[in-house]
């Protein structure tokens, strides 16, 4: 081997090592960029790794599962249950509906379930949104069922004559216009007026890791807006019940006092990214639909479809008038269990699938701003009210947002107008928290 060959071979190794190092660095850099882009294209969910680790050893225990904390209150009492299909007690091996759970206990103790009060979507949770629910009997247990949706939204004095105590156990999704919390309000009001006890069995809020949206104005109080709280209120039903009581929001400023009992969850925090184990209603079948709901539900106050009558309600937005060169997603609403007569039934709609596009913030106005602008371009010779319907102001809780959208304000500009009221709400909210907060 000559000297030049020896030097060349000695140089090859470090040069090869240097080349591989550069390639590895570039590969890692590219991967970081790709990850960053993916993170920016997903819904931002508050994640606390220490809390997630805790959940592995300390699962969340619902209020309903802690019967030792409310057993003494209900034994030898005549009970009215405000429940639906979400009123399930979960453990590692099994799940059981609260009605069946209490009936099992009644074999050993005197627990007397007199009546089941059912909210929107009914006791089994299969009725369409807005569908009238009839009174009847539960086919499994024979217990009388009284609907609290339609004309009779609040238990009457007569319906409470043979009841000593009410128990509310329904899974909420954390948006002001989701009507289960309105049913809870009316049941609290009925309890106060008739001197009945009421127990709130608490459950986690899947949208409980942030607060956003405008505060409902008093003139827009309705069944989809009972309380002067933001669209995303950041409370569990137990915490909201405390707020309703503490702020004297019941009719005639009635208070329940010691007749209100709340059984908190164990091992839950508002830092928790909580995935519901059961669909809370027919048109919120996935975790995506639940997370998108506060933003996409705004389209219920417009002429657009939110995907009712498809497999992806509240993940889709579209309209038959949009051609396929405007939006690449297409869907055709058809009657199903959760939407017996969906908007644009059997008509091909074009729009966006937010499972693919995602939302840029937890509560985003960008979808409705974008679709309004697109509809205006498509309908240049038509009236502006071709986009909004008469329900929009009632749904959002004021008449300013619609005008702000029509005036072309950006999301940032709109959100700035409600920030002071939101800050005031956050201060008030702190008084009623039962769990560690996200802030």
Tens of pLDDT, residue by residue over 395-427, are 999 999 999 999 999 999 999 999 999 999 999
pLDDT recorded at residue 137: 82
Res. 112 pLDDT band, cuts 50 70 90: very high
Terminus-to-terminus CA distance in the chain, angstroms? 71
pLDDT recorded at residue 85: 92
Q: Compute the distance between CA of residue 78 and CA of residue 114 in angstroms, rounded to an integer.
A: 6
Establish if 358 belongs to a structural domain: yes
Reported as a single tens digit per residue, the pLDDT across 363-377 is: 999 999 999 998 888
Establish if 237 belongs to a structural domain: yes
pLDDT recorded at residue 386: 81
Neighbours of 170 (CB within 10 A): 24
pLDDT recorded at residue 120: 80
* 300 CA to centre of own chain: 15
234 phi-psi bin (left φ>0, alpha ψ -120 to 50, beta other): left
Task: DSSP for 241-296, please give it.
Answer: HHHHHHTT-SGGG---GGGEEEE--BS--TT--PPPSS-SSTT--SHHHHHHHHHH
Establish if 421 belongs to a structural domain: no
Reported as a single tens digit per residue, the pLDDT across 178-228 is: 999 999 999 999 999 999 999 999 999 999 999 999 999 999 999 999 999
Establish if 333 belongs to a structural domain: yes
Model confidence at 128: pLDDT above 80: no
Establish if 57 belongs to a structural domain: no
- For the record, the structure tokens of 205 come out as 């809020």
Point out the domain boundary residue: 220, 251, 275. 275
Q: Compute the distance between CA of residue 251 and CA of residue 387 in angstroms, rounded to an integer.
A: 36
Query: What percent of the chain is predicted at pLDDT more than 90?
Result: 68
Model confidence at 381: pLDDT above 90: no
3-state SS assignment for residue 192: helix
Q: Are 346 and 333 in contact (CB under 8 A)?
A: yes
Establish if 433 belongs to a structural domain: no
Query: What percent of the chain is predicted at pLDDT more than 70?
Result: 81
Q: Are residues 328 and 389 in the same domain?
A: yes
- Give the containing element (helix H, strand E) for 39: helix 3-40
pLDDT recorded at residue 272: 85
Q: Are residues 103 and 190 in the same domain?
A: yes
Neighbours of 417 (CB within 10 A): 13
Which range is least confidently modeled, 114-123, 283-292, 405-414?
114-123
The domain that holds 140 is classified in CATH as 3.40.50.12170
Q: Are residues 145 and 232 in the same domain?
A: yes
Read off φ and ψ for residue 189, nearest 5 degrees: -65, -45
Which residues are within 8 A (CB) of 37 and not within 5 positions of it... i.e. 6 or more apart? none
Which range is least confidently modeled, 7-11, 252-256, 355-359, 401-405?
7-11
Establish if 417 belongs to a structural domain: no
3-state SS assignment for residue 370: helix
Q: Are residues 118 and 189 in the same domain?
A: yes
Q: Are residues 293 and 249 in the same domain?
A: no
Q: Are residues 260 and 350 in the same domain?
A: no
Res. 357 pLDDT band, cuts 50 70 90: confident
pLDDT recorded at residue 291: 96
Q: Across residues 102-119, what is the average pLDDT?
A: 86
Tell me what the pLDDT averaged over the chain comes to. 84
pLDDT recorded at residue 322: 81
**Angle between helix 366-378 and 287-296 (nearest 10):** 60
pLDDT recorded at residue 429: 98
Res. 337 pLDDT band, cuts 50 70 90: confident
Beta strands per DSSP E along 136-239: 136-137, 144-147, 165-169, 197-201, 212-215, 230-232
Res. 161 pLDDT band, cuts 50 70 90: very high
Task: DSSP for 75-137, please give it.
Answer: TTEEEEEEE-TT-EEE-SS-EEEHHHHHHHHHTTS-EEEEEEEE-TTTTTT-SPTT-----EE
Q: Are residues 139 and 176 in the same domain?
A: yes
Q: Are residues 218 and 339 in the same domain?
A: no
Instruction: Give pTM, 2 decimals.
Output: 0.84
Q: Compute the distance between CA of residue 176 and CA of residue 290 in angstroms, rounded to an integer.
A: 13
Q: Are residues 312 and 255 in the same domain?
A: no
pLDDT recorded at residue 433: 98
Name the residue with tokens 């006791």: 123
Most confident region among 49-53, 119-123, 412-416 by mean pLDDT: 412-416
Q: Are residues 308 and 269 in the same domain?
A: no
pLDDT recorded at residue 138: 80
- For the record, the structure tokens of 22 come out as 């550069």
Q: Are residues 390 and 243 in the same domain?
A: no
Q: Choose between 287 and 360: higher pLDDT.
A: 287
Structural domain for 297, as ranges: 287-408
Q: Are strands 260-263 and 136-137 parallel, antiparallel or unpaired?
A: unpaired
- The CA–CA distances, whole Å, from 317 to 1, 343, 382, 412 equal 74, 12, 21, 22
Name the residue with tokens 């933003």: 295
Which range is least confidently modeled, 20-24, 83-87, 376-380?
20-24
Q: Are residues 220 and 80 in the same domain?
A: yes
- For the record, the structure tokens of 371 come out as 């679709």
Q: Compute the distance between CA of residue 256 and CA of residue 198 in angstroms, rounded to an integer.
A: 9
Q: Across residues 4-18, what is the average pLDDT?
A: 37
Model confidence at 63: pLDDT above 70: yes
Q: Compute the distance between CA of residue 10 and CA of residue 49 in angstroms, rounded to an integer.
A: 48
Point out the domain boundary residue: 253, 275, 297. 275
Neighbours of 161 (CB within 10 A): 10
- For the record, the structure tokens of 338 come out as 């959760």
Model confidence at 31: pLDDT above 60: no
Establish if 418 belongs to a structural domain: no
Domain count, the chain: 2
């Amino acid at each position: 081997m000559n000297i030049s060959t020896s030097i060349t071979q000695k140089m090859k190794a470090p040069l090869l090592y240097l080349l591989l190092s550069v390639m590895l660095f570039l590969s890692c850099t590219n991967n970081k960029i790709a990850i960053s882009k993916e993170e920016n294209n997903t819904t931002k969910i508050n994640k606390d790794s220490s809390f997630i680790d805790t959940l592995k050893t300390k699962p969340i225990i619902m209020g309903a599962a802690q019967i030792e904390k409310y057993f003494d209150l209900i034994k030898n009492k005549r009970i009215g249950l405000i429940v639906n299909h979400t009123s399930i007690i979960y453990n590692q091996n099994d799940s059981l509906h609260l009605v069946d759970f209490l009936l099992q206990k009644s074999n050993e103790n005197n627990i007397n379930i007199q009546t089941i009060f059912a909210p929107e979507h009914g006791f089994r949770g299969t009725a369409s949104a807005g569908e009238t629910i009839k009174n009847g009997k539960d086919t499994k247990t024979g217990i009388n069922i009284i609907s609290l949706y339609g004309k009779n939204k609040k238990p009457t004095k007569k319906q409470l004559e043979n009841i000593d105590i009410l128990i509310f156990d329904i899974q909420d999704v954390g948006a002001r216009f989701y009507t289960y919390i309105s049913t809870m309000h009316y049941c609290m009001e009925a309890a106060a007026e008739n001197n009945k006890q009421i127990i709130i069995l608490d459950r986690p809020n899947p949208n409980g890791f942030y607060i956003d949206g405008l505060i409902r104005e008093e003139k827009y109080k309705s069944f989809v807006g009972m309380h002067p709280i933001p669209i995303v209120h950041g409370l569990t039903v137990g915490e909201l019940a405390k707020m309703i009581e503490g702020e004297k929001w019941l009719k005639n400023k009635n208070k329940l006092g010691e007749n209100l009992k709340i059984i908190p969850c164990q091992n839950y925090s508002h830092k928790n990214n909580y995935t519901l184990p059961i669909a809370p209603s027919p048109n919120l079948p996935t975790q995506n639909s639940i997370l998108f709901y506060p933003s996409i539900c705004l389209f219920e106050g417009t002429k657009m479809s939110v995907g009712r009558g498809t497999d992806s309600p509240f993940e889709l937005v579209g309209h038959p008038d949009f051609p396929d060169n405007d939006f690449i997603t297409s869907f055709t609403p058809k009657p199903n269990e959760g939407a017996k007569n969906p908007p644009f039934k059997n008509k091909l709609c074009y729009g966006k699938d937010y499972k693919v596009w995602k939302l840029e913030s937890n509560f985003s106005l960008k979808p409705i701003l974008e679709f309004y602008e697109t509809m205006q371009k498509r309908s240049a010779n038509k009236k502006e009210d071709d986009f909004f319907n008469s329900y929009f102001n009632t749904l959002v809780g004021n008449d300013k947002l619609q005008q702000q959208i029509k005036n072309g304000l950006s999301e940032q500009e709109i959100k700035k107008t409600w920030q002071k009221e939101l800050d005031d709400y956050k201060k008030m909210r702190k008084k009623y928290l039962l769990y560690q907060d996200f802030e």
